[in-house]
Amino acid sequence: MRALLVVNPKATTTSERSRDVLVRALRSQVELSVEYTLKRGHATALARKAAESGVDVVVTLGGDGTINEAVNGLMTADPGLTSRGTSPAYRLPALAVVPGGSTNVFARALGLPRDWVEGTGVILDGLRSGRHRVIGLGRADDRYFTFTAGVGLDAAVTRRVEQARLRGRTSTPALYLRSLISQVISGEDRKAPPLSIERPGEEPETNLGTVIIQNTAPWTYVGDRPINPNPQASFDRGLDVLALRSLGVASTTRTVTQMTSRRADPHGRNVLRLHDQDEFTVVAARPQAFQLDGDYLGERQKVHFLSVPEALRVIC
């Protein structure tokens, strides 16, 4: 079995020594190549090349951003060079993820341990036994995502956090909370909610302040606590949506409190929830912040979302 290990050398919870231990462990099970990412987007190119060369498994060591890039590389590989069967999930290499980021939402949503050593053990066992899971993905225009996307408030918070990290701050739950409070208090888009959701055969949902899309639950974590805007979201179904009709301080605080409770069930006149959606488009009256899998990707005025069922095999 041939495998490629894609390493983000800036992964926050690993060291050079731990990476060496991981490489030795994987080489005990597979014929392994190792590549280090050099810049944003590099993992996409590495995973795509691996898929087109016939590699059986792509392993990532990094955070959710590294995983997202690798998934996009796999999903955009030339189908003429991959011939492992008829199902899309079996035409491509399997994906294995070793948690190396600060939050590791995707790995934890799959039930993998937070600790990279324990996660490696699960992957090695899965490789030995051939155990895997086939999951669905989301797609936003031409880019795939594994667990979440957002247009509006949550993406603007992501932008604030990334800007703080560039100034040397550490990514912590407290930093996200402060960024959320600052974004809400700033009052942007509070008076004239700019977003709409358009679905085939349905009346548009208009005057929305922010839109959160989930491909699984939870949406994210604050420490050990899962945050669940859409508790029913699943890798095995379509996309789930939570939108807020207003970004007023009181109403937004109420919804955030509902999302963070142990029995999350956001509701009320300010909340729109859509379950198991195959396809929809988010349209903005003016450019809005946009994120996929926790990475800020700039501003958009229109994004087409699609559920892609049974898209990828994951070692778990």
Confidence (pTM): 0.91
Q: What does the pLDDT read at residue 53?
A: 95
Position 315 confidence tier, pLDDT thresholds 50, 70, 90:
very high
Q: What is the pLDDT of residues 226-247, one digit of tens each?
A: 888 999 999 999 999 999 998 8
Q: What does the pLDDT read at residue 313?
A: 97
Residue 187 pLDDT greater than 60, yes or no: yes
Q: How deeply is 222 buried, as exposed, middle or buried, from its count of CB atoms within 10 A (0-12, 13-18, 19+)?
A: middle
CB of 240 closer than 8 Å to CB of 275 = yes
Q: What does the pLDDT read at residue 173?
A: 65
Q: What is the pLDDT of residues 81-130, one digit of tens each?
A: 555 556 779 999 999 999 888 889 999 999 998 888 888 899 999 999 98
CA-closest candidate to residue 281, choices 306, 298, 300: 306
CA-closest candidate to residue 154, choices 47, 289, 52, 309: 289
Q: What is the pLDDT of residues 268-305, one digit of tens each?
A: 889 999 999 999 999 999 999 999 999 999 999 999 99
